[in-house]
């Protein structure tokens, strides 16, 4: 019974490098959400994707951040030229469908902790 | 605009006592409300949700939540707190028009033995 799978769980990058975070949604789920959690802070919405489509990226920083959810494979959150302020926990969540049973819940992965040194 | 407020950053309660974690919401239309719990260095775990029906919703680990439409609240409750309930709790509301989930800022629950 695989839940939402995220990897890597922990990632250390030097300033200026690239970070790639991967998320495989739960089986049967076609919607993926990415959230960021800074230390001692709440969750901030970043982006909402369906297969091959970005539905809402209103929470994504305008530069250096991008996300995709290809037809095959996991969703990827990519951070280019990382800076110390990017250090955070990045959570992926998935849900079955927009028009499924009312009130479909989203289920979270265990997170990817990015540390920029 | 949809939003959720958790007015308390932290709640302290003694083990065995009842606990309440507060949440108020603002939505257009019918609210779909959720509670999640986060233990240190872990992801969020779903606790319970309100969609329709009884105002008192029962969830995992003995938690329940009471939906109050007139007060636009969805407070999380448990009759008898355990030390192991100590965690960060998030209230969320779903915007059915745009399929987005809005989370509160979180409330840290400390249960002391």
Provide the edge-to-edge strand list for the sheet that holds A75-79.
A5-7, A19-24, A75-79, A65-68
Instruction: Please give the residue that has the higher pLDDT: either A104 or A12.
Output: A12
Buried/exposed code over A102-115 (b: 16+ C-beta within 10 A; e: otherwise):
ebbbbbbbbbbbbe
CA–CA dist B111, B82 (Å, integer): 6
The answer to whether the Cβ–Cβ distance between B43 and A31 falls below 8 Å is no
| Residue A81 confidence (pLDDT) | 98
- Residue B55: predicted pLDDT: 92
pLDDT in tens, B72-85: 999 999 999 999 99
Mean pLDDT of B67-96: 94
* Closest C-alpha to B101, from B19, B7, B30, B4: B4
pLDDT tens figures, A51-69: 899 999 999 999 999 999 9
Q: Which residue from A43, A98, A102 is facing B103, i.e. has the nearest CB?
A: A43
3-state helix, strand, coil in chain A (%, to 5): 5, 50, 50
Res B53: pLDDT: 85
pLDDT in tens, A34-44: 999 987 778 89
Q: Note whether B101 contacts A: Cβ–Cβ < 8 A.
A: yes
Write out pLDDT tens, residues B21-65.
999 999 888 888 999 999 988 999 999 999 888 899 999 999 999
A4 chain-B contacts, CB cut-off 8 A: 43
The per-residue pLDDT for A100 is: 47
- Cβ contact A48–B49 (<8 Å): no
Tokens read off for B31 = 């609210």
């Amino acid at each position: 019974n695989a839940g939402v799978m995220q990897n890597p769980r922990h990632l250390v990058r030097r300033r200026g490098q690239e970070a790639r975070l991967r998320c495989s949604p739960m089986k049967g789920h076609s919607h993926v959400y990415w959230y960021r959690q800074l230390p001692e802070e709440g969750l901030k919405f970043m982006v909402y994707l369906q297969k091959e489509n970005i539905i809402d990226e209103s929470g994504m920083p305008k530069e250096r951040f991008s996300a995709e959810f290809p037809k095959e494979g996991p969703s990827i959150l990519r951070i280019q030229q990382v800076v110390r302020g990017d250090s955070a926990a990045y959570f992926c969540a998935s849900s079955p469908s927009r028009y499924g049973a009312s009130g479909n819940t989203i289920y979270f992965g265990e997170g990817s902790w990015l540390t920029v040194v | 605009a949809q939003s959720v407020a958790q007015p308390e950053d932290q709640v302290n309660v003694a083990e065995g006592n009842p606990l309440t974690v507060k949440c108020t919401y603002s939505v257009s239309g019918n609210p779909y409300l959720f509670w999640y719990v986060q233990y240190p260095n872990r992801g969020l775990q779903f606790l319970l949700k309100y969609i329709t029906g009884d105002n008192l919703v029962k969830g995992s680990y003995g938690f329940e939540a009471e939906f109050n439409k007139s007060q636009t609240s969805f407070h999380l409750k448990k009759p008898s707190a355990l030390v192991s309930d100590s965690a960060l709790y998030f209230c969320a509301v779903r915007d059915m028009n745009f399929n987005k989930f809005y989370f509160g800022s979180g409330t840290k629950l400390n249960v002391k033995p």
